[in-house]
Structure 1
Amino acid sequence: MKPFSPFTILASAATVLSLFSNTGVQAATGVDVSTLISEKTWACAKDYGYEHAIVRGYIEAWGQNPGGALDKNLVQNYKNAIAAGYETVDIYIFPCTGRDTCKSATQQIQDVLDVIDENSMKIGTLWLDVEVDPQADNWPTASGARSTLQAYKKALDNSGEKWGIYANKVQWTSITGSSTWELDSSVPLWYPHYDNERTFDDFEAFGGWTKPTIKQYAGTSNFCSAGWDKNYYG
């Protein structure tokens, strides 16, 4: 057996240290995707230490696309992640809003639930993605947004699944008209802030949430021959 070189030892130490937060506590991390990822690629991400997986389940309307739809890769992404060793997989729902061609909130959520049921999927959390898409004009008015969000809350409350919200203070304020407007701060919050820091020290309270559950700390990052968003779980 060849002895370890100093460079190998330093590289290994750096890898271990990268899994720790600034407070010295081991940081759980994960990835989320909006494209089809193979089993081999999921396994590669897991080997890198990303223990949590989130896949897209529903796609919003945009541009000339008349309405939202189920993500055609949902089932296969779920199966590939499970086969790669992920014990549970979350689903994020980018709802179709702001257009008459969109299905109702109840029907969109039901479409996702039907896929979950038909494929015996064990889901950790359903995440409702609340963000502005300029191509879609998906939240045209604050009053309309509040009413629409309440409709999604009702559908998700009735789903039997654990659910949460994906949003940050800037987007929430822009969409609802107020940083303090509260939908349901009892559900978990996943917020984006691309500072590449695995810490919640940057979090700003909004919508009744004073503590987040997940932080999306980096946007599309390329490794294992795929593009991923990176998440910190504290």
Structure 2
Amino acid sequence: MKSNILLLLSTAALLHRSQATFGLDWADAFSLSDLQCFRSHGTDFVIVRAWHSYGAFDTNGPVQVSLAHKAGVPNVDVYAFPCRSMSAADQIKGTVDGLKNSQYGMLWLDIEDNPSHNCGWGVDFASNCQYMEELVQAIRDNGRVPGIYASHYMWNRIFGSADACQKFTDVPLWYAHYDSKQTFSDYSALPFGGWTKPAIKQFTDGQQAKICGIVVDQDWYPSSADEEQDFE
């Protein structure tokens, strides 16, 4: 995930990495001691917010990225929660520019209902899909690697159906399904967006479990052995 190490979701990482693949994501401001505790409990990757849902850079993002590295977390990514009414290109540029001194790997797009004023997704499903294309292209234009976070439910809501907007199958999928299981075996029952194989699973949300006494989203992706079992 760091610019000078293995990207979390490069093909090589997914196919050949054999170590544990437990991670966390958050939009909070945790301390170095919090992150050190996360690391001591087996956290190998983290994904922290870098762009607010209301359309502004999250200045806490670079701080959390830096603290994660100091805590010894091997892989650090960031995510942006886009505001639909704002320019896709401007938001991605703002995110990348704000993180210019930070070491991170992928830039994930948080695709779900946006509660911020005037930032919600529109009812024109085709237009929403086009906007997604603009977001993904903007990440690439800024020299970063895109990923997409979504769920079957949200894909239906934003794009009209689970089968809609199948334009991003070359982009890694981080999907949410809160069944508390570290496996992709559930995905085949509720696929969406044209993906046949996800890359990361968010298997609990912050209300279901704690790490170091802190409620935080928990994520997983398979080692090569796990992957073979999940996808055979």
**Cα distance in 1 for residues equivalent to 2:178 and 2:192:** 18
Segments of 4+ moved more than 4 angstroms: 134-137
Consecutive unaligned residues in structure 1, runs of 5 or more? 1-24, 62-67
**Which of the numbers 217, 220, 224 marks the counterpart of 1:229?**
217
Q: TM-score, normalised by structure 1?
A: 0.79
What is aligned with 2:57? 70
User: Higher mean Cα deviation, 77-86 or 202-211?
Assistant: 202-211
Change in 2 beyond 3 A, CA 1:133/1:222: same
Q: Per-residue displacement from partner, 1:106-152 (whole Å, max 9, x unpaired)? A: 111001111222x1x22121100111135556112113312211211
Matched, 1:208 2:189: no
Aligned length: 198
- Give, as a single letter, the amino acid of the residue that structure 2 aligns with 1:37: F
What is aligned with 1:4? none
**Which of the numbers 140, 153, 159 marks the counterpart of 2:136?**
153
User: Higher mean Cα deviation, 127-136 or 27-36?
Assistant: 127-136
Q: Is the 8 A contact 2:24 2:217 kept in 1?
A: yes
Q: TM-score, normalised by structure 2?
A: 0.80
What is aligned with 2:121? 139
What is aligned with 1:171? 154
- Give, as a single letter, the amino acid of the residue that structure 1 aligns with 2:74: E
Q: Per-residue displacement from partner, 1:37-78 (whole Å, max 9, x unpaired)? A: 1111111011111111110011112xxxxxx11112111111
Deviation at 1:26, TM superposition (A): 6.7
**Cα distance in 2 for residues equivalent to 1:80 and 1:225:** 19
Change in 2 beyond 3 A, CA 1:157/1:150: same
Larger Rg: 1
**Cα distance in 2 for residues equivalent to 1:109 and 1:134:** 19
What is aligned with 2:34? 41
For 1:178-189, list aligned pairs within 5 A: 178-180=161-163, 181-189=165-173
Consecutive unaligned residues in structure 2, runs of 5 or more? 1-17, 223-232
Q: Is the 8 A contact 2:20 2:42 kept in 1?
A: no
Q: Is the 8 A contact 1:149 1:183 kept in 2?
A: no
**Cα distance in 2 for residues equivalent to 1:89 and 1:27:** 15
For 1:188-207, list aligned pairs within 5 A: 188-203=172-187, 204-207=190-193
For 1:93-108, list aligned pairs within 5 A: 93-97=80-84, 99=85, 102=86, 104-108=87-91
